[in-house]
Amino acid sequence: MASDLEQLCSHINEKIGNIKKTLSLRNCGKEPTLKTILNKIGDEIIVVNELLNKLELEIQYQEQTNSSLKELFESLEEDCKDVEHLKENIPPHLPQVTVTQNLYMKSRLTYCHINDVIKEINKAVVSKYKIVHQPKKAMSSVARNLYHRFIDEETKETKGHYFVVEADIKEFTALKVDKRFHVILNILRHCRRLSEVRGKGLTRYVIT
């Protein structure tokens, strides 16, 4: 994502540089040919304005994502502390070996897998909305087909929110959509970092 932002900033700087070079010619005279140059300036300004708007949206999304991830990590850290506390304070009358093993497996799941799943879901969201915000004229046939699917999957409940479906996870990540994946999604819903919107035979995982 950092490289995408760098490319976008570089493109904007290039456009601004072209405008400055063109403006430097405005005092060369009032020949009719200058009207063409001025029209080109207007077109360049429109393009730069659109790029700046997209950059602003991208920055807002990244800030929102970073904030959500930070809160999620803090929440999971508290959950891990609770699990460790339970593991270390098991009443003597309980079947100690079995309970300890179950709690240890929960701890392993928390530490080893949830963080990776969060990163991959974030990757899928970024990849999806990069296509959504891409100019249609610049889309490949594959991107255009994905774009139409993304639009068809939107509902009133998802309006104004970022969301993915299982097809996006399979399209943009290497995650296996298996039982463990859904267990981690349940944890994220429990932490109120994801919500579900169902309809049209789809489950939409909304970033909250």
pLDDT in tens, the chain (208 residues): 556 667 777 777 787 777 776 666 555 545 666 667 767 777 788 888 788 878 777 787 777 777 766 776 676 676 666 556 555 654 444 444 343 444 464 445 555 678 888 889 989 999 999 999 888 888 899 999 999 999 999 999 998 899 999 999 999 999 999 888 888 888 888 888 889 999 988 999 998 8
Pick the closest to residue 191 from 104, 73, 96, 95 (CA basis): 73
DSSP 8-class letter at 86: H
158 alpha carbon, distance to own chain's centre: 14
With contact defined as beta carbons under 8 Å apart, do 177 and 166 qualify? yes
Residues of 86-98 as b/e, b for ≥16 C-beta within 10 angstroms?
ebeeeeeeeeeee
pTM of the model: 0.51
> Of 120, 119, 138, which Cα lies nearest the Cα of 54?
138
Q: Is 54 exposed, middle or buried (0-12, 13-18, 19+ CB in 10 A)?
A: middle
CB 14 within 8 A of CB 51: no
- Please tell me the predicted confidence (pLDDT) of residue 128: 92
